[in-house]
Amino acid sequence: MKNIMFIAPPAAGKGTQAEWITEKYNIPHISTGDILRDIAKEDSEIGNYVAETMASGKLVKDEITYQLIEDRLSKDDCKNGFIIDGFPRNLEQAKEYDKILANLGYEVGNVILLNINEKTLEKRITGRRVCEDCRTIFNINDPAKAPQVDSVCDKCGGKLYQRQDDNLEAFQTRYAMYQEKTEPIIEHYRKQNVLHEVDANNTFDIVSKQVDEIISKN
């Protein structure tokens, strides 16, 4: 069973890494961000709350996130492993996540920390575009990752859009929050001997190779 968790600041490449891992190992990619963005599109009390919270760069209430995670991990397609990113974001959530896994009979697995500098992140996040249909990620600030046709997905022809929270102001809020609240979970998993560090400033191929070596050994 291959359970994989990414710890990284916004735009560090979690989604891009998860895409190829999903295809190679045939395990689902569970992104709390994608789940919440889908809910944010709903015209409901929770949908409006999530939309406003994410647009401001703040985090959704824990009790909502916990239920979403547990419901998703209990599905049959997670029995052989899964990738989770965007969660946990702080030490309290990490401890709760450990409990959820234990209740489901799962182990934590591999926790992969993507280290990357702030300036690189700013460039990535302001140029990021996502396909509305297949979720493929592009970046107009990187020629190697830019779409061949402006605003059109190379993979399925769907429309590309910029996420509400993919702006510099929201990024700075999220990055400061990451430093304050998310980084303490690194020590939590280091103590469990499940933490692996990767330099995400490198090219996609180099980062992917390092990540694959970690996964294949465990």
Side chain identity at residue 59, one-letter code: L
CA angle, residues 203, 208, 214, in degrees to nearest 5: 135
User: Could you give the CA distance from residue 84 to residue 73 in angstroms, rounded to a whole number?
Assistant: 9
> Catalytic: which of 79, 163, 181, 190?
163
* Paired tokens of 148: 């061949």
For the question of residue 128 being annotated catalytic, the response is yes
For the question of residue 129 being annotated catalytic, the response is no
Instruction: Give 76's DSSP letter.
Output: G
> Catalytic: which of 14, 37, 124, 129?
14
> Catalytic: which of 37, 89, 124, 129?
89
| Bridge partners, 2 (sequence order) | 81
* Paired tokens of 75: 């599905």
For residue 154, give Cα distances in angstroms to 88, 89, 130, 151, 162: 32, 32, 11, 10, 16
For the question of residue 95 being annotated catalytic, the response is no
* Paired tokens of 21: 């891992």
Helices (H), ranges, the chain: 14-25, 32-40, 45-55, 62-73, 91-104, 118-127, 168-177, 184-190, 204-217
For the question of residue 14 being annotated catalytic, the response is yes
> Catalytic: which of 37, 124, 129, 174?
174
For the question of residue 124 being annotated catalytic, the response is no
Nearest CA among 27, 23, 14 for reference residue 207: 14
List residues with catalytic annotation: 14, 89, 128, 163, 174
